[in-house]
Amino acid sequence: MDVLFLLIPVSIVFLSLAVTALMWSIKSGQYDDLDSPAHQILFDDDDDLMPDSKESSKQSKSND
C-alpha cells in the first residue's frame, strides 16, 4: 500500500494539468455558448453529402 505515497502526489499533478486545460478552454471561449452545440448535433443537414441526393447550392464549403 505504500505505493500510495507515489500515486497520490501523481494524482495531484494530473489534477493540476486538468485545471490548466480547463482554464485554457474557458479563456479561449469554448464555454461562451453552452446552448447551441448541444442541439447542433441533432440537425440532419448532411443531405448534400449523401450520394443520391441532389447537390445543394454550394458543395464543399459547408463545414460540417
> Which residues here bind another protein, judged by CB under 8 A?
1, 4-5, 8-9, 11-12, 15, 18-19, 22-23, 26-27, 31-36, 38-40, 42-45, 47, 56-58, 61-63
| Buried b / exposed e along 1-17 (16+ C-beta atoms within 10 A) | eeeeeeeeeeeeeeeee
Taking the least distance from each CB to another protein, the nearer of 31 and 49 is 31
Cell of 37: 452545440
8 A C-beta contact, residue 17 and residue 11: no
Least gap, CB of 51 to another protein (angstroms): 18
Taking the least distance from each CB to another protein, the nearer of 50 and 57 is 57
